[in-house]
Amino acid sequence: MSMFRRVDRQVPSLNTASLPDLIFTVLFFFMIVTHMRTETVRVRFRQPQGTELTRLVKKSVATHIYIGTPQGAASGTVIQMNDKYVRVDEIERYMRLVVSHLSPEEREQMTVSLKADRATKMGIITEVKLALRRAGALKISYSADEEKVAH
């Protein structure tokens, strides 16, 4: 008889009791860090075309301003910020409010995205830019479609 006994060893089963906790923790994390934009564009505009285009790097700190004609029977040029129409003199107050809710790091990265109709008068865009300058929003991005270059 041998002194050593042969013992059959099996691989222990994996304990999955904490798996639901882990899944809900990951789900909660993604719900917190995901930013959903819910504004409805009520301005009709055709973007100008350009050749040297780049994308916005950090969209979470971008504020969008739409300039164009209202969708509906009305005519003329309107300015939309979030879900409402604003006048040029209201832009500065609104942007100061937006900037006050940002952290210092986000203030440095904040960009205003101007999405204007190609037929918008340059005087309106200049007035918007001056209001943004008074509010301290100095980084402005102009939206455009990529120009089709024929070779």
Q: Are 80 and 41 in contact (CB under 8 A)?
A: yes
* Number of compact structural domains in the chain: 1
Domain assignment of residue 19, yes or no: no
Measured distance CA(44)–CA(29) in Å, rounded: 37
Domain assignment of residue 34, yes or no: no
Domain assignment of residue 75, yes or no: yes
Domain of 105, in residue numbers: 43-48+61-145
Domain assignment of residue 35, yes or no: no
Domain assignment of residue 107, yes or no: yes
Measured distance CA(79)–CA(70) in Å, rounded: 9
Domain assignment of residue 151, yes or no: no
Q: Where are the alpha helices (DSSP H) in 37-78?
A: none
| pLDDT tens figures, 5-59 | 777 788 888 888 888 999 999 998 888 888 666 667 777 666 666 666 566 555 6
Put simply, whether the predicted model's pTM sits higher than 0.95 gets the answer no
| pLDDT tens figures, 76-116 | 888 998 788 899 999 999 888 888 888 888 888 888 888 88
